[in-house]
Amino acid sequence: MEVEDGVERCFPQLNTSCRKPTFPGSDVLFLHIVLYFVSVLTVALNLLIIISISHFRQLHTNTNTLLLSLTVSDFLVGLVLMPGEILRQTGCWFLGDLMCSLYKYVCLIITATSVGNMILISVDRYVAICDPLHYPTRVTLRRVKLCVCLCWLGSFFYSSIFFKDDLTEPGRYNSCYGQCVFVIDYTAGVVDLFISFIAPVTVIIVLYMRVFVVAVSQARAMRSHITAVTLQRSGTVTTKSELKAARTLGVVVAVFLMCLCPYYCVSYAGDTALSGSSAAFVLYLFYCNSCLNPLIYALFYPWFRKAVKLIVTLQILQPGSREANIL
């Protein structure tokens, strides 16, 4: 294949090289600055949460263990997926076909893990609000850690099956050298749509609808002294901290679903439905959810603000800082 005159290619020495994407200089510079800023902010904010929950002993709870798992996946989104997607969408892919296949593999692992974490968080809040008497025995720290490990291992296994052909034959779908494309056949796409989107979203919505109904009824009961005393004697009332956690995590789940739904709707709408720029936008929107979660924690959790203050001022380096009272 001959090189066309005036056409810049990713690898000028190769006739099979892809054309360089053409953007106005100012536009691509502004886009890179914004996207890399969001990527760095995502990494920094989620790293603060990882340090907070890992360091302070008071935060070693069942719910926070699930938050830690979600935060790790959000951290990897900012560290790996965002920079990779910026390179894939706005420039040439210089990392080779093997790294392209690995990147797609990691993308699916992190996405599947995030969805799995949201399901676990919804189940945790469901048991805590709807069955508080059995919560301490049914939801133990050991079981939560086991579920988190199974969530990550299941994502690795599912992604391995999904991208088996792509991993064994890297670059099979690339039309030229310097390209990294995502191609999903119809059958695999339908299966993934059900497993990664329809089934999890249905479970999450059903569980949180139940949590919402019970939380509202108990909040009303707490306003009535007589009813509240009756509920406390029967041992069925949920503590205010559990209700607050349910509200905060409900916001996290709602924001996650708002960012996830456009991504899957566009991904499986077909090439003729929307332009490539629209598909890229909803993908960036989905990734930006990883930056929004820490902001939600900062808004609703006083312990996070206290922990950040101790981290930034390096007080966590002092002896005994793990036992600090931040709740």
Query: Looking at residue 227, what is its pLDDT?
Result: 53
CATH number of the domain that 70 lies in? Answer: 1.20.1070.10
Answer whether residue 18 is part of any domain.
no
Examine residue 3 and state whether it is found in any structural domain, yes or no: no
Residue 185 is predicted with a pLDDT of 73
Residue 211 is predicted with a pLDDT of: 83
pLDDT at 317: 87
Neighbour tally for 48: CB within 10 Å:
19
Question: Which regions of the chain are under pLDDT 50?
Answer: 1-3, 5, 226, 233-237, 271-275
In a domain, 284, yes or no: yes
The answer as to whether 273 is a domain residue is: no
How many domains is the chain partitioned into structurally? Answer: 1
Identify whether 74 is part of a domain: yes
Residue 291 maps to a domain: yes
Q: Which domain holds residue 93?
A: 25-267+278-322
Write down the pTM of the prediction.
0.84
pLDDT of residue 235: 45
Instruction: Give domain status of residue 148, yes or no.
Output: yes
* pLDDT score, position 1: 41
- Asked if the structure places residue 174 within a domain, the reply is yes
